[in-house]
Structures are given as structure tokens and as C-alpha cells.
Amino acid sequence: MSSQTARIRADLVESGLVWVIVGFAILIALNLLTLAIGPSGILQNLNSRSWGALVSVFVFDSWGTVGGLAGVVILFTPVLFGMPRPRRFSLSIFFLCASIGSGILANVLWSYFYNRGGLIGAGSSSIAISGQGIIFALSIFGSINLGVASRKDGAKGADVAAREWRQFFFVVYITLILSTLYFVVVLEPIYIPTALYNWRVHEIGFFIAIAATAVFVGVTSRLTSIN
């Protein structure tokens, strides 16, 4: 039991997942802290500051946001461990930084182009949905890579274990792709105007995150092929 626990701990550290967990736990803690202080007062204070849009995404806006921040960590985990071991740590750091960066950038763009003198935008929902966009893009690229690898291994007669591994992660990727589409198209559409939440900042964050992921995958694939 102790050896198994030590192996799990080593995997968490080596893969960088521990940093993702810590980072999103801090985001959740900030949301709860701002809830305790009073979100409206914080936003009114930030509204008069030039840098307010950079930090207003850390202000609590709903319990759904808190759940979303925890949820993307859970959804990211199988995607992470579907990657080759040498690439996991860099992927974890990218996921953490790109989720937060895309969420902040989306809020800044919304504040500059769409906020017509209203109260500054709030909530880490833009970070959560940016994380969802990264998971969505990684799942698409992952399923494509599995298809390519399957054709190559099929010609060489791959063993049963390798084939079952590919089938498992293919199901995981397709599930994540379909569940993300269901969320952004049906449950909380990012393209339909609504007064219930800041729909446009979700739309911006989602697509920025997908673009960032495409660049990351392209750069890391090129570096891998060179090495």
C-alpha cells in the first residue's frame, strides 16, 4: 500500500498535475474569499482602476463557476495521462497558464470592445470555460493522433494491449468532445445573447484557448520531431 501511494505521489509530481490542482484550488479559494468580502464592493472598487479587468476574473460570481473550476481539473486528468510521460509536465503547466491567461485576456477584450460603461466583468467562469476549450482541443488532436497511430500499428500487427489502450483513450476523447459541445451549444450556449451571464466573454475565452492549444500542440510536435 505504501509503495502504491508513493507511486501515485510521484506521478502527480512528475506529470505536473499537482501544480494544476494547487493552481485551481487557489482560484477556488479566491472566489470564496471574495464571496465572503462582498463581490459587488470589490467590483465597484476595481471598476475605477485601469488594471481592474486583469483581476476581476478572480471575483466570485456564482457557485457554478466554483464547480466549473473543480470540474475542468477532473476532465483534464485523463487527457494528461493519455500523453506520453515526457510531455505531461509541460502540458500541465501549459494548461494552468493558458486557462488563466485566456480567461484574463477574454475579460480584457470584452471590457475594451463590449462593455459600454457598465460594471466591470467578474468571475472565473472565463477561466473555467477556457480550460474547457483547451480540453476540447486536446481531445480532438488526441483522437487524430490515435487514428494515425492505429493505422501505422495495424500495418505492423500491434499487440492487443496497445490496441486496447488506444480504444480506451479514443472513447475518453470522444466523450470529452461531445460533452463539451453539449455544454457550449445546449446547456450554456456561448453564441446566444443572454442577460443571465456574460455570454460573450465565454465565447472569446473558449476560442482563444483553442487557438492557444493549437499553437502549443504544433510547437511541441515540431520540437519532438526535431529531437
- pLDDT values of the chain reduced to their tens digit, one per residue, 227 residues: 567 777 778 888 899 999 999 999 999 999 999 999 999 999 999 988 889 989 999 999 899 999 999 999 999 999 999 998 889 999 999 999 999 999 999 999 998 888 876 778 788 999 999 999 999 999 999 999 888 877 766 555 556 557 788 889 999 999 999 999 999 999 889 998 887 778 899 999 999 999 999 999 999 988 766 65
pLDDT at 67: 95
Round to whole Å and give the CA distance between 144 and 161. 19
pLDDT at 211: 98
pLDDT at 114: 87
CB count in 10 Å sphere of residue 19: 17
What are the E-state strand segments in 9-75? none
Distances (CA, A) of 83 to 74, 93, 107, 115: 16, 14, 31, 40
For 134, the grid coordinates are: 483547451
pLDDT at 165: 82
Round to whole Å and give the CA distance between 150 and 165. 11
pLDDT at 185: 92
pLDDT at 7: 76
**CB-CB contact of 112 with 215 (8 Å):** no
∠ CA 168-145-22, rounded to 5°: 70
Can you say whether the dihedral through the CA atoms of 95, 101, 103, 105 is positive or negative?
A: negative
Where does 2-226 sit in CATH, by number? Answer: 1.20.1540
Query: What is the DSSP code (8-state) at residue 162?
Result: H
**Residue type for 81, please?**
F
pLDDT at 125: 92
For 81, the grid coordinates are: 495521462
The label of the residue with cell 493552481 reads 23
pLDDT at 227: 59
Spatial neighbors of 123 by CB under 8 A, at least 6 apart, are 31, 57, 59, 60, 61, 62, 65, 198
